[in-house]
């Protein structure tokens, strides 16, 4: 009789053995070149993360960019910017395209380089030499010149905030030829050369008049970025005017500043700011990350009027409109382990975000629960963490509950093991993690001996729930995964609301193997 230990029946679906290990030393599956590059492009901010340094991320992107076709690079750059709302990585991919396929760069340039900040990022990367050249080159230089020419005088002046490089540095590099007297004066003003004062754009003249004014409150406040004004002597009236003109994002980020300067003592201003924060059109235009609203709500001074605090909650409900309502039973598994307490966009000296991977995972879980009241949330670290959740509570409240959990080790299979212990039924399981599972990895530090424990537990879950699907949302720039891509498993990277659309697609059965990469490849050039 055949040895049962060798030839026992496989329960559930067949899965391949692991072929690599993750940064934590646990068994894992290697992503394909396109999957790995997509993951880096939608989660990497070229800052140090818990497991990977900035240089390591850069090296991986450059190496992987050589292994995929230029068309995929171009589509990924557009996707990372327009869908993933990333900044550094799309600019880097454009720089790579300038070497690999200048023609494709010209096709996607305006779709990716869509702001002065993105322009400065692109130029900085190009002149750094990391893509093999330290000058812009003929075509990139022409694209920058066309970009400058397409902006109005006021747009360029307002966009001159920022450094390393500054807009003035870009101008000195490309030597644009001004077509009007005002543009010639503006260029001279920005780069510190002689210019005709009377030819300056009206906005620049207003700004200079305001700067020279020695009688605060007597000169009209110019409509310039907030950063241009903070070093100047401002009256309470000026601060109210700044608040009236502020963009949605600037308002969100400066509620405590407005409080300090007396803006929120005016009931009319309170109503104006609250209505702005909950305005659906402005929320969509701002391309706000839902987690940015959570951070604003958590950090706002409790002396800020309750109407504004409630407006942030209203804005959150609008910002998560893409979160799907799923037919059937949903289990959401946010990772609350130690590595998830690191900044979601990486460590940067003097500018690390206060937003942790944990906060994003908690928000995704709370959002799904809000839209699907019968969903079950299973936070995990070494094991699952029991937290009482109420689908009727606000997203903010439930996210705070999850994010308050103390750190621990990582065991991605823990939620599935618990569901199997209970013989639970389910139609959709969603993981939000950094995929660095190691506690459940036999032969810690080695690989190739078996499937990951996550895949073993998923096979058991599938044996009871034949139509179930698994979505693994990875928040960090890693090139490994715990659940291998297959017909019932979708891996996706990123922390914008694009993950909610993908969840909706998978939940409704509109997906296939490597669905996320197919989404990227569907971008039209």
pLDDT in tens, 34-70: 999 999 999 988 776 777 788 888 999 999 999 999 9
CA distances from residue 242 to 203, 235, 264, 299 in whole angstroms, order as listed: 15, 11, 12, 21
* Stretch 95-116: mean pLDDT: 96
Give bridge partners of residue 27 from the DSSP assignment.
Answer: 21
Q: Are residues 19 and 147 in the same domain?
A: no
Inter-residue contact 488 to 462 (CB < 8 Å): yes
Cβ partners under 8 Å of residue 56, min gap 6: none
For the chain, the C-alpha Rg in angstroms (whole number) is 26
Q: What is the DSSP string of 271-335?
A: HHHHHHHT-HHHHHHTT--HHHHHHHHHHS-TTS-HHHHHHHHHHHHHHTTTSPP-SS-EEEEEB
10 Å CB burial of residue 205 (0-12, 13-18, 19+) is middle
**Whether the predicted pLDDT of 456 surpasses 50:** yes
pLDDT range class, residue 15, cuts 50, 70, 90: low
* Stretch 446-453: mean pLDDT: 70
Q: Are residues 398 and 439 in the same domain?
A: yes
Count of alpha carbons within 13 angstroms of residue 397, beta-carbon side: 11
Q: Are residues 38 and 23 in the same domain?
A: no
Residue 471 φ/ψ, nearest 5 degrees? -120, 125
pLDDT of residue 8: 44
Residue 130 lies in a domain: yes
Q: Are residues 383 and 465 in the same domain?
A: yes
Residue 259 lies in a domain: no
Q: For the chain, what is the domain count?
A: 2
pLDDT of residue 150: 95
pLDDT of residue 445: 46
Q: Are residues 81 and 20 in the same domain?
A: no
pLDDT of residue 509: 86
* Stretch 151-172: mean pLDDT: 92
Residue 451 lies in a domain: yes
Q: Are residues 390 and 497 in the same domain?
A: yes
Q: What is the DSSP string of 96-117?
A: HHHHH-HHHHHHHHHHH--SHH
User: Domain end: 166, 199, 232, which one?
Assistant: 199
CA distances from residue 116 to 111, 158, 205, 360, 488 in whole angstroms, order as listed: 13, 9, 21, 28, 42
The better pLDDT of the pair 347, 487 is held by 487
pLDDT tens, residue by residue, 301-331: 999 999 999 999 999 888 877 678 888 999 9
User: Domain end: 176, 199, 222, which one?
Assistant: 199
pLDDT of residue 234: 86
Q: Pairing state of beta strands 330-334 and 489-493?
A: unpaired
Give the separation between CA 348 and CA 268, rounded to whole angstroms.
39
Q: Are residues 22 and 90 in the same domain?
A: no
Structure tokens at 8: 């026992």
Q: Are residues 20 and 127 in the same domain?
A: no
Q: Are residues 388 and 459 in the same domain?
A: yes
Q: Are residues 102 and 137 in the same domain?
A: yes
pLDDT tens, residue by residue, 356-372: 899 899 999 999 998 89
pLDDT of residue 369: 92
Residue 390 lies in a domain: yes
pLDDT range class, residue 214, cuts 50, 70, 90: low
Q: Are residues 119 and 20 in the same domain?
A: no
The domain that holds 403 is classified in CATH as: 3.40.50.410
Q: Are residues 512 and 471 in the same domain?
A: yes
Structure tokens at 489: 């498993």
- Domain carrying residue 457: 15-27+320-521
């Amino acid at each position: 009789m055949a040895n049962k230990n060798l030839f026992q029946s496989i329960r559930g679906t067949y899965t391949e053995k692991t072929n690599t290990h993750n940064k934590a030393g646990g068994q894992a599956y290697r992503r394909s070149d396109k999957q790995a590059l997509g993951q880096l492009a939608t989660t990497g901010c070229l800052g140090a993360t818990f497991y990977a340094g900035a240089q390591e991320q850069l090296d991986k992107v450059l190496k992987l960019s050589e292994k995929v076709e230029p068309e995929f690079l171009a589509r990924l750059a557009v996707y990372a910017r327009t869908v993933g709302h990333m900044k550094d990585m799309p600019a880097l991919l454009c720089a790579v395209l300038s070497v690999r396929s200048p023609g494709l760069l010209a096709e996607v340039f305006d779709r990716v380089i869509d702001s002065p900040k993105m322009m400065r990022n692109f130029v900085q990367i190009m002149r750094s030499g990391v893509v093999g050249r330290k000058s812009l080159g003929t075509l990139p230089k022409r694209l920058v010149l066309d970009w400058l020419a397409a902006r109005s005088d006021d747009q360029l002046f307002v966009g001159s905030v920022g450094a390393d490089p500054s807009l003035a540095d870009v101008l000195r590099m490309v030597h644009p030829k001004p077509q009007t007297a005002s543009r010639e004066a503006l260029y001279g003003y920005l780069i510190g050369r002689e210019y005709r004062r009377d030819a300056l754009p009206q906005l620049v003249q207003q700004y200079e008049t305001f700067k020279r004014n020695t009688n605060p409150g007597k000169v009209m406040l110019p409509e310039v970025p907030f950063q241009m004004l903070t070093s100047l002597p401002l009256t309470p009236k000026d601060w109210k005017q700044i608040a009236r003109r502020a963009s949605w994002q600037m308002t969100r980020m400066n509620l405590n500043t407005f409080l300090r300067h007396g803006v929120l003592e005016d009931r009319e201003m309170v109503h104006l700011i609250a209505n702005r924060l909950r305005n659906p059109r402005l929320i969509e235009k701002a391309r706000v990350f839902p987690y940015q609203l959570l951070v604003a709500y958590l950090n706002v001074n409790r002396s800020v009027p309750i109407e504004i605090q409630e407006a942030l909650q209203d804005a959150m409900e609008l910002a998560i409109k893409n979160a799907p309502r799923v037919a059937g039973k949903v289990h959401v598994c946010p990772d609350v382990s130690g590595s998830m307490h690191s900044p979601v966009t990486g460590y940067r000296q003097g500018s690390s975000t206060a937003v942790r991977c944990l906060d994003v995972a908690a928000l995704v879980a709370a959002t799904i629960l809000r839209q699907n009241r019968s969903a079950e949330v299973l936070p995990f670290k070494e094991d699952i963490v029991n937290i009482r959740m109420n689908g009727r509570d606000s997203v903010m409240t439930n996210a705070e509950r999850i994010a308050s959990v103390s750190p621990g080790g990582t065991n991605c299979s823990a939620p599935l093991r618990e569901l199997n212990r209970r013989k639970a039924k389910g139609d959709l399981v969603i993981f939000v993690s950094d995929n660095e599972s190691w506690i459940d990895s036999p032969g810690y530090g080695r690989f190739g001996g078996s499937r990951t424990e996550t895949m073993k537990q998923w096979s058991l879950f599938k044996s009871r729930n034949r139509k179930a699907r698994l979505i693994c949302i990875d928040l960090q720039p890693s090139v490994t995964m715990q659940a291998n891509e297959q017909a019932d498993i979708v891996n996706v990277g990123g922390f914008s609301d694009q993950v909610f659309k993908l969840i909706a697609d998978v939940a409704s059965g509109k997906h296939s193997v490597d669905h996320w990469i197919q989404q990227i490849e569907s971008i039209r050039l």
